[in-house]
Amino acid sequence: MVFVAGLSYRYVVGAALGLAPALFLVLSSAPYRMRRLLAVLDPWADPLGDGFQVIQSQIAVGTGGLVGLGLMRGLQKLHFLPEPHTDFIYAVIAEETGLLGATVILLCFAIITWRGLLVACHAPDRFGAFLAIGLTTMVAMQAFINMSVVLGLLPTTGIPLPFVSAGGSSLLIGLIGMGILLNVSQHAALRR
């Protein structure tokens, strides 16, 4: 949002460099935070402890292959993969529908992001543009973080996959956000 609003990159880089020592202190102040970060780098160092979720998730994704095992035939969700219906639903999708199904989900989020940015470009005013970019970024970043956690690229965060994970509050916020985005889109269409 700050880049879209026109803030200089130097300010953002300066703030990030200034906050880096604080981030290091936060990570090193609690041992579980550092273990969670290290579990992403080498999950096999503690396969039954901190690396368990990452390993089970990667097993689920790898087992799916190209076309998957079939709907409701995944094995990892049967008490191997923790939270398969919320945080790790993308792993279950990849296991049951394979690379093709996982790619379809990825493409759906790419289309939502593309259309949201298109709405922002055609918004009737700056407020509408900022609102559209903020809502689109919220959904896109949630999806990116969730998929990255499932693939073992980021530490486990507890962020659900928008519109897919079980959880009423996340779904409600996502749908309200998309409704507001459609409202901005409608005002942009009426203005033309």
Assess whether pLDDT exceeds 90 at residue 82.
no
Highest mean pLDDT among 37-51, 103-117, 154-168: 103-117
Q: What is the CA radius of gyration of the chain?
A: 19
CA pair distance 112, 37, nearest whole angstrom:
30
Question: DSSP string covering 126-163, please?
Answer: HHHHHHHHHHHHHHHHHHHHHHHHHTTSS----PPPTT
d(CA 119, CA 130): 10
Question: For the segment 136-155, what is each residue's pLDDT rounded down to a tens digit?
Answer: 999 999 999 999 999 999 98
Q: Taking the CA atoms of 182, 167, 43 and 78 in sequence, report the sign of the dihedral they define.
A: negative
Region 126-130 average pLDDT: 92
Q: Is the pLDDT of residue 42 over 80?
A: yes
CA 156 to chain centre: 11
44 Cβ partners below 8 Å, 6+ apart? 51, 55
Average of pLDDT values for 99-121? 96
- Candidates 149, 124, 142; CA nearest to 178 is 142
pLDDT of 192 strictly over 70: no
Residue spans of the domains in the chain: they are 34-191
